[in-house]
Amino acid sequence: GGGFDVCLLPLSSPVGDGLRLYHCYHVCYPLQVGSSVAQSVPPLDMQIAIARFLASPYRLLSNHGIRGPTPLPLLGNFLSINKVGHDRFLEEQIETFGKVFGYYVGTTPKVAITDVEIAKEIMVKEFENFSDRGFIGPPSLIPKALGVQPGMIVSSVEIWRPGRRALTPSFSAMKMKLMVPLIKKSTGVLLDILGGFAESDKSVEVFGVYGGFTMETLMATAFGQDVAVQRGEGDQVSKAADTVFRAAEEGSALSVDVLGLILSSFPCLEPLILRAVRNSEAGSAVKLMNDSAIHLIEARMQSQHPPKVKDLLQLMIDATVDEDNGDNSSRKKLTSTEIAGFSVDFFLAGYETTATTLGFTSYLLAMNTHVQEKLQVEIDEYFEENPVSALIMMRY
């Protein structure tokens, strides 16, 4: 009648091509020319519409018969998760709702499954329907923010499946043996350092020692660079890696739940979050690591003389096809950018886990001398020039 219809829509809905309406209701009234929305829509109806809009995302799980804690508008169950921690929150819900329940981070629904049989069904029989990962915080945002190839952790099935197929042969026992000389070199330096502490009869903070050993080993195996990190040396890549780990330890990286809350409730803020990640110290460090890996990979691809000692980087290069030669349509081999993403993945995933395991193992052995002695006897009995084969024989 000469006017327009006004419809209540969420402010966070993307507008333009590919319009996606997250929640839309038939709450429309004629808007006469010259009148405002407030004048056209009765206040009570507007309040009801807003209430329905805020509650609508939280009907999904209950509509499918999945029980769970009551969510708050926009926040979901975030406050409860933040109060006790994610692990404790899940334990409490298991006690209340059983082995299968649902909850919300922001407006994003999540289903927790602790039933082993259902987990087997999902992970094995129905894996084709559950082959991608959801949002997992910084690892999901960093590749998008920096414009780099995502590693195996957050890649889509179209990338990680052929990537895994190409990488699997690189992790055979025979090829792992090729990297033993690199590991032994760093291990020798580690033993010298620990021996010095033993002779001085001084206590040592082993996590720092093992951190240097792990970083030096990963620099050699994953990045193909010989850097004496344990002796105090460092290059751009090792310093960048140290920046990333320091940021994680200090908590400067936003938590998974906080980012999930912001992005699920306010998708329109994603560009701002990506910009913040891109301009952060940790983001710049990851970009440097990725660019350095690509530079080294391309240099090796062009070289007619591969390194004498095979490292993980070279093993992946051997499974690589040049992006520009038109032969990667089958996606059976890796490109240089994919190798770079996987190298950064292995570096970041391997550093803290290895250093922490070595640190706690040393502590437990020091506190349980009878176990230490038994382990030492077995090592002396089976250790040979080929430690990889000896490991198979060492049952203890």
324 and 193 belong to one structural domain: yes
Q: Is residue 176 part of a domain?
A: yes
Worst-scoring range by mean pLDDT, 6-20, 37-51, 177-191, 244-258?
Answer: 6-20
Question: Residue 251: CB partners within 8 Å, gap ≥ 6?
Answer: none
pLDDT exceeds cutoff 90 at 290: no
Query: What secondary structure letter does DSSP report for 76?
Result: B
User: What are 97-108's pLDDT values in tens digits?
Assistant: 999 999 998 888
User: What are 345-396's pLDDT values in tens digits?
Assistant: 888 788 888 999 999 999 999 999 999 999 998 888 877 656 667 777 788 7
The predicted structure's pLDDT at residue 24: 36
User: What are 323-353's pLDDT values in tens digits?
Assistant: 445 444 444 567 788 888 888 888 878 888 8
pLDDT band at residue 111 using 50, 70 and 90 as cut-offs: very high
238 and 155 belong to one structural domain: yes
Pick the more confident residue, 3 or 203. 203
Cα dihedral: 33, 35, 37, 42 (round 10): -120
The predicted structure's pLDDT at residue 322: 43
What sign does the CA torsion over 363, 364, 368, 372 have? negative
Q: Is residue 52 part of a domain?
A: no
94 and 210 belong to one structural domain: no
245 and 339 belong to one structural domain: yes
Q: Is residue 283 part of a domain?
A: yes
Q: Is residue 311 part of a domain?
A: yes
27 and 174 belong to one structural domain: no
pLDDT band at residue 253 using 50, 70 and 90 as cut-offs: very low
Q: Encoding tokens for residue 221?
A: 């195996």
The span from the CA of 109 to the CA of 69, in Å, is: 12
* Structural domain harbouring 105: 59-130
Q: Is residue 334 part of a domain?
A: yes
What would the mean pLDDT of 164-184 be, rounded to a whole number? Answer: 80
Q: Encoding tokens for residue 119?
A: 């987990």
Q: What is the pTM of this model?
A: 0.66
Total structural domains within the chain: 3
191 and 332 belong to one structural domain: yes
Pick the more confident residue, 66 or 127. 66
Q: Among candidates 176, 142, 173, which has minimal Cα distance to 348?
A: 142
